Structure 1
Amino acid sequence: MVQISVILPVYNGASTITDTIDSVLGQTFQDVELIVIDDGSTDDTVSVLETCNDERLQIHQFENAGQGESRNRGAALAQGEYLSFIDADDLWTPEKLESQWQALQTHPQAAVAYSWTDHIDEHNQFFRSGPHLPFSGDVYKKLIISDFVGSGSNVLIRKFAFEEVGGFAPHLTPAEDWDLWVRLAANYEFVVVPQVQILYRTVTTSSSFNLAKMEASSLQVMERIFAQAPPDLQDLAQRCRGHRYKYLTYKALDLTPQRQRARAAFRFLALALWYDPSLWRRRVIWKVVLRATVAVLLPQAGLMSLLTRQRKLFDIEALLFHIRFD
């Protein structure tokens, strides 16, 4: 029996999946199986997969059911004592699995290990930093406030814990990661590996992030969280909602903001400020208002030229880092 089962769900990922597979099979920790779940791809994904000659790789094809269900399907097939997941366009540094596995050996009371994340672009080049937070032990309260893990490509989980909490909830896509982390943290400790080991791909020319779907699934996750949270944590509800709407504000204005998305940003920002009035004291809020305003008023070409020339004036990265965990 292998130690670690890596589950890789893919839908039309022919252009990136080879690099992703190489980053898994090239790990310093070699006692792994890689279970690829093809989620009904219609491009050349399967043909690309079939060129990979490694006995640790398994390919399973299903009708399209979404990422959450694909991850659960892979977990059901897994033989390993530990589970890890990676999306078909993300990458790992070579020591990711070994570092997280060792962290769980050193901290037997923990069921989840996670590392730090940075973002890369379409060409595998560094784009920006992700969450670099040092939380270990009982992180339940902190995960209720905000999903600091960063992505579904991050964690290493003891399989029994994943099964105990019921795996991913597919109907909560694309917020199903956060939902699972919270359910795990309610029952088990986490341990951090304080190194950047997950390279999360951001397509810098894309505005395909589905804001409406993320808002709807986030609201469902927050409802589930506070339906199950103990009485002494119920007062976190407003702060939790404030942080989530702050995240949605950022996503609405990220990369190549468009007029419709900028209008949505005003609504998200208003809700973020309503739930978390402390945001009024943050200077980045006025940069957010300015970025949203010019995105509504200017044509796309003029907007991108202005954002490029006045990058510092319109930089809203700080919005993601103003999180009150205490």
Structure 2
Amino acid sequence: MVLTNSQPVLISVILPLYNAESYIREAVRSILQETRIPLELIVVDDGSTDRSLKVLKQIRDDRLVVLYNQGKGIATALNTGLAAARGKFIARCDADDYYPAGRLFRQINWLMQHPEAGAVCGGYRVIDPKGLSVTAFNWSQEIEDITGELQAGTARTHLCTFVIRTDIVRSIEGFRSYFVTAEDIDLQLRLGDATNVWYLPGMCYHYRLHETSITHTRSSTEREFFDQIAREFQRQRQQQGHDALQRGCPPALPQKHDKPPMTAKQHLQNFLLGEAWRSYQAGQLTKALVAGMRSALALPSNLTVWRSVLSLVIKSATASSQLMFRLYSRS
């Protein structure tokens, strides 16, 4: 499975892996389906104990490279892949997610036509464990320079939607192992310090919600701490030129983990409820009601969501009645 030829590689996709036997085949195939550009897929296993590696061995493709990280954590796994990368560009895909067809080709073409840009990103779709669409985030229909957003501490999209010039990622020393989670947010914000980053409209990633992902196994205390400190470090860099981690004196990690993880069902419910109200605001009443009911049924014990859905039903019925009245009045 290791590349042995000397063919130039244009892009290296790094895929950190830990116990994702149910999803790894789909993730790998979504990347290797791109045959118009020379690429390598570097899977870095972080000590999987399930059948993930057996699944990989069944995939016969010279572009697939498997490395081993031995349980050293997500940031170290990503840096292991970065050190081995041969491509001019770098991208990431998590083992439980997947790429839409044509995404890499489109983004790389754009970067090659815009040498002043160091990275490009895009929108993403949230899916449930079975792959059904939950909601989509595509923030703009226009190409935008989002460097200023990143410098201000705002990460609008998922790191896995990015394609980045490899030399830039290496110039900022890759991922920082201090971050047990939110290493992706930290890297995005530091990219904004190092280069021009652009947003290219379109879906670039399918992000799957399920109970065994890092987001849903880490305590909320820990996740919130690292999310906040990534943005605090950015504020420090903008004001002082460097952050506490760069100075060697980062804040101590939280000792109490009194907030349990947000479950995938809670996360799914929140996304669906947001989709319902966005659809209502856009006048898409049927879509709003479907998303609202899916949200309530994702976690039926949450009475607050049922009240929100009831409000949505009433508002939708009122809006529909008003529309029918206006149409009748014109006839």
Question: TM above 0.5, one fold?
Answer: yes
- Could you tell me how far 1:142 is from its partner in structure 2? 4.5
Q: What does residue 85 of structure 2 align with?
A: 78
Q: Tell me, yes or no, if structure 1 residue 255 matches structure 2 residue 262.
A: no
Q: Which amino acid aligns with 1:311?
A: V
CA separation of 1:153 and 1:141: change in aligned 2, threshold 3 A: closer
Q: Tell me how far apart the structure 1 counterparts of residues 218 and 307 of structure 2 sit (CA, whole Å).
A: 25
Gaps of 5+ in 2: 1-7, 241-258, 268-297, 314-331
Q: Tell me how far apart the structure 2 counterparts of residues 89 and 11 of structure 1 sit (CA, whole Å).
A: 10
Q: Percent identity?
A: 26
Q: Tell me how far apart the structure 2 counterparts of residues 141 and 115 of structure 1 sit (CA, whole Å).
A: 14
| Aligned-partner SS, 2:144 | coil
Q: What does residue 144 of structure 1 align with?
A: 152
- Could you tell me how far 1:219 is from its partner in structure 2? 3.0
- Could you tell me how far 1:28 is from its partner in structure 2? 4.9
Q: What does residue 326 of structure 2 align with?
A: none
Q: Contact 1:29–1:97 at 8 Å: present in 2 too?
A: no
- Could you tell me how far 1:313 is from its partner in structure 2? 4.2
- Could you tell me how far 1:302 is from its partner in structure 2? 6.0
Q: Contact 1:256–1:304 at 8 Å: present in 2 too?
A: no
1:50-199 equivalence runs, <5 A:
50-133=57-140, 136-137=144-145, 139-142=147-150, 144-149=152-157, 151-199=158-206
- Could you tell me how far 1:199 is from its partner in structure 2? 0.7
Q: What does residue 213 of structure 1 align with?
A: 222
- Could you tell me how far 1:131 is from its partner in structure 2? 4.8
| Aligned-partner SS, 1:171 | coil
CA separation of 1:17 and 1:252: change in aligned 2, threshold 3 A: closer
| Aligned-partner SS, 2:194 | coil
CA separation of 1:253 and 1:145: change in aligned 2, threshold 3 A: farther
- Could you tell me how far 1:163 is from its partner in structure 2? 0.6
CA separation of 1:97 and 1:198: change in aligned 2, threshold 3 A: same
Give the aligned length. Answer: 255
CA separation of 1:156 and 1:48: change in aligned 2, threshold 3 A: same
Q: Contact 1:112–1:156 at 8 Å: present in 2 too?
A: yes
Q: Which amino acid aligns with 2:193?
A: A
Q: Tell me how far apart the structure 1 counterparts of residues 72 and 212 of structure 2 sit (CA, whole Å).
A: 27
The list of structure 1 runs, each at least 4 consecutive aligned residues, that deviate by more than 4 angstroms after superposition, is: 204-207, 251-254, 312-315
Gaps of 5+ in 1: 232-248, 258-299, 316-326
Q: Which amino acid aligns with 1:222?
A: R
Q: Contact 2:129–2:209 at 8 Å: present in 1 too?
A: yes
Pick which of 74-83 and 167-176 moved more.
167-176
